[in-house]
């Protein structure tokens, strides 16, 4: 079965011009649905949030509108209603990277890790953005098995001043976050080190169900590696990424030039839109207008969003199934049944 084919049985919700069919993520302040525009069978992810007392949506929208990178989910549209706002984004049909773990070898680890690094390099070096919530739930895979970084609700520009807000997910929290110290891009590097460690060994370097005990481990305990033979260059990279002193921790450019990283063939990592890399500071230029559905919204003007287009799909990506004679409780989708991640 093609990984981007979705079995749809009924419309679960309607948001603006989009029919929502399947909830794929639930958060404290947002829900995420698989949806499609009413005119065309093209799958998107819609993250919908109540506006009452929730300021993250405005921050996330402001951040995402300027992002243009093949390893970051694209923001297509914004739908504003009386009590909620919805972000219409690129749909990553293969779910969280964590569902692929454990990874079988270093080449596979590098395949995904290098794409994550490319996205982080773009955020740090081009956009001056600290993600602040790097974790497996926010690292998704599209139908081509390409990484798509999502969830910029906690992201922040970091230019002239260091950041102070304590935020993020406990298992991925850096020592400086826990100690309520000022921080910068290096807090993302710690989280990235935690992710790489888990990709390599299948467990977290620091873990406790008690949050205070977890934080004590992160602050006080040394990093410990398994006793079986491991590439020393990889261990060295992990040690430098997980240095408790942020000033001695690697930055993203140093990671990409480290011996273990340089020792792998980056040509092994396919990119669906490699042309974006050379033009990542430029807006997307759409061509062949007859082949695209133009999505225009007053919200694009209100929030200065670029206008994106969906490609028409002659071979539809969504297959509607008649609801009669179906036991809806038994319906599953191959690509979504394990996808609980939230954009």
Q: What is the DSSP letter of 72?
A: B
Q: Is 133 a catalytic residue?
A: yes
Question: Reduced to 3 DSSP states, what percent helix, strand and coil does the chain have, rounded to the nearest 5?
Answer: 30, 20, 50
Cβ(33)–Cβ(46) below 8 Å: yes
**Cβ pair 234, 260 in contact under 8 A:** yes
Strand ordering across the sheet containing 18-26: 13-15, 18-26, 30-37, 43-50, 84-90, 75-80
Residue 95: burial class (beta carbons within 10 Å; 0-12, 13-18, 19+)? buried
Q: Count how many Cα atoms sit within 13 Å of the Cα of residue 270 in the half-sphere of its side chain.
A: 7
Q: Which of 17, 83, 105, 133 is catalytic?
A: 133
The answer to whether 289 is annotated as binding is no
Which H/E stretch holds residue 108? helix 106-121
Residue positions forming the annotated binding site for ATP: 47
Residues classed as catalytic = 133
Residue positions forming the annotated binding site: 47
């Amino acid at each position: 079965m093609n990984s981007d084919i979705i079995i749809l049985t009924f419309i679960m919700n309607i948001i603006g011009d989009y029919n929502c069919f399947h909830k794929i993520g639930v958060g404290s302040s947002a829900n995420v649905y698989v949806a499609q525009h009413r005119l065309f069978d093209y799958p998107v992810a819609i993250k919908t949030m109540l506006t009452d007392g929730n300021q993250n949506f405005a921050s996330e929208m402001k951040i995402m509108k300027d992002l243009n990178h093949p390893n970051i989910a694209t923001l297509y549209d914004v739908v504003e209603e009386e009590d909620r706002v919805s972000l219409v984004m690129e749909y990553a049909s293969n779910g969280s990277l964590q569902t692929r773990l454990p990874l079988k070898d270093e080449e596979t680890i590098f395949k995904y890790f290098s794409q994550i690094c490319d996205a982080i390099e773009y955020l740090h070096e081009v956009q001056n953005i600290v993600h602040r919530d790097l974790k497996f739930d926010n690292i998704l895979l599209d139908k081509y098995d390409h990484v798509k970084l999502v969830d910029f609700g906690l992201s922040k520009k970091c230019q002239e001043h260091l950041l102070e807000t304590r935020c993020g997910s406990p298992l991925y929290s850096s020592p400086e976050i826990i100690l309520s110290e000022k921080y910068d891009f290096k807090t993302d590097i710690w989280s990235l080190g935690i992710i790489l460690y888990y990709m390599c060994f299948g467990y977290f370097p620091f873990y406790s169900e008690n949050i205070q005990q977890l934080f004590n481990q992160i602050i006080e305990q040394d990093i410990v590696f398994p006793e079986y033979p491991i590439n020393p260059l990889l261990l060295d990279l992990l040690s430098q990424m997980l240095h408790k002193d942020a000033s001695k921790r690697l930055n993203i450019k140093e990671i990409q030039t480290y011996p273990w990283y340089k020792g792998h063939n980056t040509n092994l990592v396919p990119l669906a839109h490699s042309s974006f890399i050379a033009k990542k500071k430029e807006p997307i230029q759409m061509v062949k207008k007859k082949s695209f559905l133009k999505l225009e919204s007053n919200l694009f003007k209100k929030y200065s969003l670029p206008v994106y287009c969906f490609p028409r799909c002659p071979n539809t990506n969504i297959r509607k199934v008649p609801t009669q004679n179906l036991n809806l409780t038994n319906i599953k989708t191959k690509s979504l049944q394990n996808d609980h991640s939230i954009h």
